[in-house]
Amino acid sequence: MGDANIIIRRANKNDAGTIALLIARLAQATGQRSKMTSTEADFARYGFGTTPAFNVLLAEASGDAVGLSLWFYNFSSWRGELGAYLQDLYVDDSMRGTGLGRRLLAETATHARADGATHLRLSVDTDNTGAQDFYKHLGFVARVDEDIYQISDQAFAALAGVRHT
């Protein structure tokens, strides 16, 4: 199936099930499916309300979803600029090597730039060397001057429950 047959479009609330399905496929492909707890309802609620928490582009071939880009905006206080953070990029196995991943990234960058973003960030699993090579080939640079830290679950709840006097 050629790249020319692919349509890339903004997702809408009716696509929440498709988004959940593609994210589940991404989780499966990366061996992380058991960690995924998000649902179609989560994507509908957080992505398409009055203040959407994220944006999604869907790639379709003959009406079938074959790719996805999910991103949200952030602000760099050091740069004084709006940026976009790519949370998820998924390309179905049947479309690997067709340029679809690059097209999804380019469309994401185009949308982000139109909204005022000056840069695109993402993180890659340390053992996913194929993805690392793909991003490096496109010009992404690994940041060696920072590490990502996260607090979740009970530790987050405990932190959120702390009251300062």
Task: Domain ranges for the chain, please list them.
Answer: 3-160
Structure tokens at 153: 């679950």
- Tens-place pLDDT, residues 147-160: 889 999 889 999 99
Q: Which residue in this structure is represented by tokens 């959120």?
A: 160
- In Å, how far are 37, 49, 138 from 42, measured between CA atoms? 10, 11, 31
d(CA 98, CA 1): 9
Structure tokens at 56: 């999604």
Q: Which residue in this structure is represented by tokens 């139109």?
A: 114
Burial label for 140, CB within 10 Å (0-12, 13-18, 19+), is middle
| CATH of region 3-160, choose from 3.40.120.10, 3.30.565.10, 3.40.630.30, 3.40.50.1820 | 3.40.630.30
Q: What percent of the chain has pLDDT over 90?
A: 82
**In the predicted model, is pLDDT for residue 2 greater than 80?**
no
- Tens-place pLDDT, residues 58-82: 999 999 999 999 999 999 999 999 9
Q: What single DSSP character describes residue 62?
A: T
pTM of the predicted structure, to 2 decimals: 0.90
SS3 59: strand
Q: What single DSSP character describes residue 71?
A: E
pLDDT confidence band for 3 (50 / 70 / 90): low
Whether 86 contacts 94, CB under 8 Å? no
Whether 18 contacts 26, CB under 8 Å? no
Mean pLDDT of 101-117: 97
Burial label for 2, CB within 10 Å (0-12, 13-18, 19+), is exposed
